[in-house]
Structures are given as C-alpha cells and as structure tokens.
Amino acid sequence: MNYKKIQNGAYNIHFIKTDKFKTISMRINFKRKTKESEVTKRNLLTRVLLESNEIYKTSRLIEIETEKLYGLMIRSSATISGNYSVMSFESSFLNEEYTDDNMIEKSLDFILGFILNPDIENKKFNEKNFNLCVSALKTEIESLKENTGRYGMHKMLEAMDPNEPYAISADGSIEELEKITRENLYEYYKEIIKGDLIDIFIIGDFDENKVKGIINNKLKINTLKRPSESHYVTHKSKRLKPKTTKEKMDIEQSKLYIGCKLDKLTPFEQKYVMNIYSFILGGSPNSRLFMNLREKKSLCYSVNSTYQPVFNLLIITAGINASDFKKSVTLIKQELKNITQGKFDEQEIEAGIITYKNTFKEVEDSAFSILNAYTSCEYLNYDPIEKRTKEIEKVKKEDIIKVSKKIHIDTIFLLEGANDEEN
C-alpha cells in the first residue's frame, strides 16, 4: 500500500493506493471540539443529510440511483473521539475498471451531493425527512436503558466525571433533541461546512490526480482551518480513594464496572504496552481475571477489561451476583496488584503479542478496517500497520510492571439487579 496526504487550508485528502480491492472506499470526516450541547445535533445531522438532497428527494430515487451506480453504498455516523466530535460519511463503489467510463466521477458526485447540496426549503431542512430522523433518533436515545451493558458503562463514566467527553452519550439526549428545529439545524450545518476540520480518506486502485481534481472541483470550501489539537483526554485529577456508586434495575444479573484512570503514559505505553497489559488482565478466556474470578472462584458469569486509549481509561466489567460485589472488587484489586508485583509470566506476554499481530492480519482484509488504521495514524498519532506489528514485539515484562503503577482505580459502579439482593 502506498499512502500520501495532501493538505490544503480547507481540508486534507489521504490517499491509500492498493490494487487489493475491486472497490474504492471513502470516508469523509468532519470534526470539531466535543461539546455536549452539539452532540445531538451532529447525530441528527448525519441522518438528515443522507435522507434526501436537492436532486434525490425520496428514498426511492436514491435507491434507483445507487442501483445505476452498481450498488454504491453510503452511510453515516457520529462519534466522540476524545476531545473531538466526529461526523463520518462512508461510501464504497466499484472501480470503473469493472463498470463504465467516468464511474468514479459519477460516484463521487453522487456522494458529495448529500453533503454539499442538502434538501432545503425556505432555509429549513425538508420537513418530512427531518421529522422521520428526529423520531428515529428519539427512539434510539430512549432505548439506551434497554441495553444494560451500554447503560451501565455510561452511568459509570458519568459518575467518574460528568464534565469530561467520555461521560457524554454519543447518541445525544432527549432534552437537546427537543431544542432542534429545521431552521437551527440548517444554520448549524452551515457552521460545520465552514468551521469543521475535514479529512477525506480514500482507498483503492485509482488515478490519484484524477480523484484529487474531482474532489477539489466539487468540494469548493475555502475556509482556512486551525490545525487539529490532541484527541487524547488528559485527566485533571485522580481520586485517592475510589468512588463507589450503585443503581438498582429490573434485571436478572448485576453488572459491575470499574473505571481506572491512566496517568502520564509514554507514547510507547499508550500505543503498545497497555494493549498487552489489558490482554493479560482481562482480554481473553485465559486472562487473569477470567481464570481467577470465574474459573477458580465462580464469582462472575463474565469478566473482561477494555483499554480506551483516547480517553486514557482502563475499564473492567463483570456480570456478577450482587451478593458477590465486595468479594469481586477485592479479587479484581488483587489481580491488579499481582501484575504490579510481576506475578505473571512471559507466556502471557507472548500470547498477547500474537493476538495483537493476528488482529492486524485481519485488518488488511477489509478496506474500511484499513481506513480505520490510517485514521488512527492521523488523529491519534498511531504508527502505520507495518511498524505496529514490529513495535509490539518490543513489549517486555518490565514495561508492563512499570505501566501498571500508572493505573488508578477511580470509580466503582454496580448496576444491581432488582431481585438480586446483596447480603
């Protein structure tokens, strides 16, 4: 694969040239600093823009055109990447080598049309499609509590610090949704076109100059943008004693969440050591938490740890009986201590390294997984895939012991089953 970044004042284009796929895949990102008051708007906007535009005003017309374009796929999402909120528009379409002449230009014109030529009536978004998207988003926000895994995670992060980006629900809130009108959403759309940082990632086998010319001709945005700052959340403080909170819910099984803040990691620790640490702690069926909490002590139904680098967090989750809450927390703390004391072996490290490298073998089989990898290079200063598979081999036992001393339990949250009484 051959990578090139082309910068201009308004947006960046990232070309990843490869003949591995018959398709050309693209991601267009709009990003700005995360603000809780804007998250719902951004989520709604990604939906409204793809519902129709000034040329294709119905889903049927859109469907007919995508069929003409050999099954072109287009979708959108809104996510929170640490200090930045990101709106993404993704598309995939057949290379014109397998279709008709000028199919790349036709496809790009169709895709960019949704972003640049919205369906506007009297300076407002189309009423019918706006209402459809509002209704769908409202249902999604209201369903958060039905997904106990996501709900419990959100409540734990909120208890950790309600003012940090990680505590914001990526779906948004009903309160903010009720404030959005067709008029103010259109005004906000104009703001993001003018002010958001824009990155276009495109992968496939294509004529670079031709694609660059098409994009520059269509995407006539001339506003100079400030360079991006760090996505990584830096913790302003850490608790000397963990905060413990509980909430009852009508569920069969209680869910335990332990949020740990990570303190001043080096780039190598951030990109490599923490991945192996999390794998050893709770990242596999042979992990220390799984073997000791579940297999030996039968204290949980499931247990794992997840490393969230952009938020500088390590999160441990477990499905338990409420009566085993104290025992489970005590044993989890002991496993954290055991790693700090070096009570793990080289085979565990090697298994983590092998798993990490196998993950990147799978990445290379998917165009969008490759785009994810290059996006992380751009936004999170990650290394290219080839370098990552070599750097991970440098992780040693002393690195894991050292990083373990930078992990601080901050918040313990129990989503307690209503019929699962604690003794």
Helix axes 208-218, 103-116, angle to 10 degrees: 30
Residue 106 in tokens: 């036709």
Query: 316, 303 in Cβ contact below 8 A?
Result: yes
Helix (H, G, I), strand (E, B) or coil at 184: helix
Q: How large is the average pLDDT for residues 239-252? A: 92
| Model confidence at 131: pLDDT above 90 | yes
Query: 55, 113 in Cβ contact below 8 A?
Result: yes
| Model confidence at 419: pLDDT above 80 | no
Q: How large is the average pLDDT for residues 179-196? A: 96
- Percent of the chain beyond pLDDT 90? 85
Determine the Cα–Cα distance for residues 202 and 211; give it in Å rounded to an integer: 9
* Residue 179 neighbours by CB under 8 Å, 6+ apart: none
Burial bucket for residue 122 (CB in 10 Å: 0-12, 13-18, 19+) = exposed
Determine the Cα–Cα distance for residues 375 and 372; give it in Å rounded to an integer: 5
Determine the Cα–Cα distance for residues 309 and 325; give it in Å rounded to an integer: 27
| 370-380 tens-digit pLDDT | 999 999 999 99
Query: 24, 95 in Cβ contact below 8 A?
Result: yes
Helix axes 346-363, 367-380, angle to 10 degrees: 120
Q: How large is the average pLDDT for residues 388-414? A: 97
Domains and CATH numbers, the chain: 2-218 (3.30.830.10), 243-417 (3.30.830.10)
Report the chain's mean pLDDT, rounded to a whole number: 94
Q: How large is the average pLDDT for residues 8-23? A: 92
Query: What is the pLDDT at residue 420?
Result: 63
Burial bucket for residue 110 (CB in 10 Å: 0-12, 13-18, 19+) = buried
Determine the Cα–Cα distance for residues 5 and 381; give it in Å rounded to an integer: 14
Q: How large is the average pLDDT for residues 227-232? A: 91
Decide which of 234 and 361 is more confident. 234
Q: Output the CA torsion 269→397→293→302 (10° steps).
A: 40
Distances (CA, A) of 320 to 73, 111, 155, 215, 386: 42, 47, 17, 53, 40
Q: How large is the average pLDDT for residues 158-166? A: 95
| 326-358 tens-digit pLDDT | 999 999 999 999 999 999 999 999 999 999 999
Report the DSSP beta bridge partners of residue 316. 258, 305
Query: What is the pLDDT at residue 223?
Result: 78
Q: How confident is the model at residue 256 (pLDDT cuts 50, 70, 90)?
A: very high
Helix (H, G, I), strand (E, B) or coil at 300: strand
* Amino acid at residue number 123: K
Report the DSSP beta bridge partners of residue 31. 86, 197
Query: 320, 299 in Cβ contact below 8 A?
Result: yes
Query: 40, 181 in Cβ contact below 8 A?
Result: no
**Nearest Cα to Cα of residue 262 among 205, 195, 312, 335:** 312
| 276-316 tens-digit pLDDT | 999 999 999 889 999 999 888 888 889 999 999 999 999 99
- Percent of the chain beyond pLDDT 70? 99
Q: How large is the average pLDDT for residues 148-173? A: 94
How many residues appear in the chain?
Answer: 423
- Kind of pairing, strands 120-121 and 124-125? antiparallel
Q: How large is the average pLDDT for residues 56-62? A: 95
- pTM attached to this predicted model: 0.92
Cβ neighbour number for residue 45 with a 10 Å cutoff? 24
Query: What is the pLDDT at residue 310?
Result: 97
Residue 246 in tokens: 């509980």
Query: What is the pLDDT at residue 423?
Result: 41
* Amino acid at residue number 161: D
